[in-house]
């Protein structure tokens, strides 16, 4: 059979190519462009090599923001993953309760992020907010706009409220996919509740939990809108996470070169952590 050579089909790819180019390739390459050059406007650029990267990597401000970012992500993962699994384990498995729980669990996920920030801002205001007022009435000296600890507490609480549901829903799906004979066999083997969790439920949830941790890592590491609306990065720079700091540098100070370099470093950190984590979790999966 003779095949006729016809490359016209490539034309069909053009719309996708244009779309991807405009929403990903062009902006990213622009950032790369800024990261290696200096500009004073008028489209005049001078080559700077790796200067901005060295500057960012040596900057104490960046170290501090990165530290805050890892601390925040660490805290919320440490709370949300166990809490999400625990809630999924206690959710009903059949009946009307299933739908009620699922709807209740989905609610926080459906609220726009800036609305979440605004809601919690009002909720936590020391004088008039329900949370702030209650805590003060109970004798705690609570003011998230002034005290670093309170600002962190509120930000973490807000993120737990907003995102634990995602872990719950994923874990619940994982739990429901476990076939009844596993539980029956464990019952006959005389396994304790803890052993059932440790040797059946947890291993069977491994894949969904990996996805949950990855999603929560990425989203919390790139968090911007909610703390921006809630605390604006304050008090001082106490809750200025990487993205908030980045926006300050790029749009507040108009340091385009260092901001672009920081963006790329930021991007590579997210990519690297995800890659390492995913490969660690999946290293034994190939055998089975």
Question: Dihedral, CA atoms, 239, 245, 248, 249, nearest 10 degrees?
Answer: 160
Tell me how crowded residue 4 is: count the other CB atoms within 10 A of its CB: 4
Least Cβ distance, residue 85 to another protein (angstroms): 16
Contacts of 53-59 with C-beta under 8 Å, sequence gap 24+, read 53/261, 53/264, 53/265, 55/258, 55/261, 56/258, 56/261, 56/262, 56/265, 57/265, 59/258
Please, which residues have CB within 8 angstroms of residue 39's CB and are 6 or more apart in sequence?
Answer: 45, 46, 256, 257
Least Cβ distance, residue 194 to another protein (angstroms): 11
Q: Which of residues 99-118 bind another protein (CB under 8 A)?
A: none
Peptide bond into 34 cis (omega under 30): no
Select 112 or 181, whichever has its Cβ closest to another protein.
181
Select 7 or 284, whichever has its Cβ closest to another protein.
284
Select 7 or 179, whichever has its Cβ closest to another protein.
179
Number of chain positions touching another protein (CB under 8 A) = 21
Instruction: Decide: is 74 part of the binding site for another protein (CB under 8 A).
Output: no
DSSP string, 102-141: HHHHHGGGGS-HHHHHHHHHHHH-TTTSHHHHHHHHTT--
Select 141 or 189, whichever has its Cβ closest to another protein.
189
Q: Which of residues 174-233 bind another protein (CB under 8 A)?
A: 179, 181-182, 184-185, 187-192, 195, 198-200, 202-204
Nearest to 59 by CA among 275, 265, 216, 229: 265
Nearest to 172 by CA among 263, 94, 61, 112: 94
For 70-84, b/e burial (b = at least 16 CB within 10 A) is eebbebbbebbbeeb
Q: Which of residues 248-287 bind another protein (CB under 8 A)?
A: 284, 287
Least Cβ distance, residue 287 to another protein (angstroms): 4
Binding mask 128-167 for another protein (x = CB under 8 A): ----------------------------------------
Binding mask 82-101 for another protein (x = CB under 8 A): --------------------
Select 7 or 192, whichever has its Cβ closest to another protein.
192
Select 54 or 198, whichever has its Cβ closest to another protein.
198
> Which residues of the shown chain bind another protein in the complex (CB under 8 A)?
179, 181-182, 184-185, 187-192, 195, 198-200, 202-204, 284, 287-288
């Amino acid at each position: 059979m003779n095949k006729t050579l016809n490359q016209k089909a490539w034309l069909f790819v053009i719309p996708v190519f244009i779309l991807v180019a405009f929403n990903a390739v062009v902006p990213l390459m622009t950032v790369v462009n800024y990261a290696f050059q200096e500009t004073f406007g008028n489209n005049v650029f001078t080559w700077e090599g790796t200067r901005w990267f060295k500057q960012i990597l040596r900057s104490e401000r960046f170290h501090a923001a990165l530290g805050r970012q890892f601390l925040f992500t660490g805290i919320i993962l440490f709370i949300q993953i166990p809490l999400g699994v625990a809630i999924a384990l206690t959710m009903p498995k059949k009946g009307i309760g299933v739908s009620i729980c699922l709807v209740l669990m989905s609610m926080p996920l459906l609220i726009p992020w800036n609305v979440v920030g605004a809601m919690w801002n009002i909720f936590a205001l020391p004088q008039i907010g329900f949370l702030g007022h209650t805590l003060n009435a109970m004798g705690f000296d609570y003011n998230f706009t002034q005290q670093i600890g309170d600002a962190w507490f509120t930000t973490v609480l807000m993120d737990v409220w907003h995102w634990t549901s995602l872990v719950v829903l994923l874990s619940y799906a994982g739990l429901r996919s476990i076939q009844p004979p596993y539980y029956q066999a464990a019952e006959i083997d005389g396994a304790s509740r803890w052993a059932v969790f440790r040797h059946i439920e947890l291993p069977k949830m491994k894949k969904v939990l990996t996805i949950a941790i990855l999603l929560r890592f990425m989203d919390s590491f790139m968090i911007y809108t909610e703390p921006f609306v809630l605390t604006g990065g304050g008090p001082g720079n106490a809750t200025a996470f990487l993205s908030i700091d980045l926006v300050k540098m790029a749009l507040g100070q108009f340091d385009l070169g260092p901001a672009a370099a920081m963006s790329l470093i930021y991007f590579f950190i997210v990519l690297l952590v995800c890659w390492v984590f995913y490969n660690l979790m999946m290293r034994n999966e190939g055998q089975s």
